[in-house]
A and B are shown apart, each in its own frame.
Chain A
Amino acid sequence: QHRHLLELLKRTTVHGESNSALIIGPRGSGKTALLNHVLKDLREMREVRENLLEDPFLPGLLQTNDKVALKEITRQLQLENVVGDKVFGSFAENLAFLLEALRKGSRTSSCPILFVLDEFDLFVHHKNQTLLYNLFDISQSAQTPVTVIGLTCRQDILELLEKRVKSRFSHRQIYVMNSFDFKQYIKMFKKQLSLPAEFPDEPFAQKWNNNVQHLSEDKTVQDVLQKLFHHSKDLHSLHLLLMLAVSAVTVHHPLLTAADLQEASRQHSTDSKANIVHGLSVLEICLIIAMKHLNEVYDGEPFNFQMVYNEFQKFIQRKAHSMYNFEKPVVMKAFEHLLQLELVQPLERPSVRAQREYLLMKLLLDSSQIMDALQVYPNCPTDVKQWAASSLSWL
């Protein structure tokens, strides 16, 4: 991949040949890293450096429409000085201006330009795909040599292109995949964590690196990493985990331990919604348990507050020994709190006409999540726990 891309760019710069290519790969698979690496290599080559390769870099998240993108291109090509005096009126003038600028050059005379379109899929959604059409059109005609490189994580990107845009694209796709196995993953882990040779405090660096080597052979650490590896091969998540672990390092605790990593992993993988449940009051927990039972009874059909309240009333009357019988408005308040926490979600927008009690809701928690949360909930009344576990027994 690296070689392919390097060859491609070299040809653009040295021979003035126009091209277009797409780099496709899932998130965190190193598309941008690959491109940057190639560009760095390219700049080290003598003949290329002299040719003054320009590369406007256009992140798709910033260039929300073609107009912004065009302005950015002119800025990055340092043409704005020319433009400076002009009253930069309409989008149309802008486009005409840039096209004229690019049309001026020929294969042999003007210096090649490399357009990098990050988040290429977002450019596809621009109106008429004007920008893409024009860029590809330039790359397909004898004008200034350009290379258009798109970075995207969408596998179906080509289907999104309009037919004439697609026809002008030269169909070079470079796929970047996370095709490494666990051994390489461990190696990467070591490399990420090791201190570089130029670290000033040399004895410490040695000690640290030894520790890292030791860690990588540790069973628990390998387990942690294996788990993460199974979840995602994305290197960003590995970085995140290591960051959490390394932040535990202090002056008194200079070396990373396996326990640190385990703790980090635990933090990394905790369920966000279950976390919220931990902070609820007993009444709110009771309401959630009531909703859970309703879900089981009606097989996931939506419910409203009145149903939840009835369920709760049943529980209070029959089973509850430690629970105080709350007034309806109080229960309503608790219910609205849950709504705000987005543990329940209304099916439709609340309207003025519908009474709040009868608004249809859905629970956004899975029963397993509720059970997990209850397990760790501090001072949970036993009858509530029993109710949660065995709902059907008394219905």
Chain B
Amino acid sequence: MNNMSPEVALHRISPELRPLLCSVVRNGRVGLDSTNCLRVTDLKTGCTSLTPGPCCDRFKLHIPYAGETLKWDIIFNARYPELPPDFIFGEDAEFLPEPSELPHLVHWDAGNPECLLQLVKELIQQYHHYQCLRLRESSRLLFEYDSLLEDPNYGRNMEIYAGRKNSWTGEFSARFLLKLPVDFSNIPIYLLKDTALDPGEDVALLSVSFEDAEATQVFPKLYLSPSIEHALGGSSALHIPAFPSGGCLIDYVPQVCQLLTNKVQYVIQGYHKRREYIAAFLSHFGTGVVEYDAEGFTKLTLLLMWKDFCFLVHVDLPLYFPRDQPTLTFQSVYHFTNSGQLYSQVQKSYPYSPRWDGNEMAKRAKAYFKSFIPQFQEGAFANGKL
């Protein structure tokens, strides 16, 4: 059964093995890509077919790794649940980890629900070593690997998948999945809370695929966890520079890192700036403030009066404020347009400079309002209906 929901899997598995699988399915995140949790499919039983269920004791575990999904068979025996499982490593028939490197196998404790998950993590580690060894087939890629390994920023958070040589062309390919050491902790929470999914850990993963051993065809790709992606402004945030031909990862990755960091900084700064802006407006316009976005500080509405003419000003602050100019929408409280909306005018260009601080912006805004309102009033009277 594919795409089995975890609960279904847990239901069908033999009761003695359930706790082990539970921790894998519910909490199991291995590897860098924690957004994809471990998936269980193909639940089968090793008991005779007449054994009443639930008695499944063997299944396929899908593990995301370096952009690939490993499909490993895990074989228990329902009649002997205390025994450690056996593994079939799918297509990686040559992967044979040393049991001494798997402490959770050697000291298997069926009573510990985390045992299986830990064992899987240890296996992934061994698998990583195995893949790194396979990199030795290409000196260029090995160089890439070694150079990254030396940098503590990247060396410890790397997953390598060394693909099989293409039997036709004899080409060797590999994929590097790197976790970028970008600090997302200061991103305002409100940005991260907007995602529907449980965001989990915020990661940015850079996947670089080498389609040939000489690194002439390199395809980088940036993966952001959904919340970060949203926080940074959607898929446009994923634009990264192309891999320079002849370049190497040790130069490229920091570049990407910096780019991302800058973006994050922008976002953080923008947040603070907006907050400052709103605060300034609040203090300047005091009771004129109708409402404002107290979380993201993206919107502000003012009700102002000039010579007995009341009007509303909606201020929309863009994501990359103060780089981008806030949008001012003037709205008449008296006049309607033909469509029944309040008559409004949008002003996107007005005297503005990103270098002003909040106070200055508030003052200037006020001045602008004064200068613009007569125009608006005329317009409202001319075009709107009461």
- The answer to whether A and B interact is no
Chain A residues at the B interface, C-beta cutoff of 8 Å? none
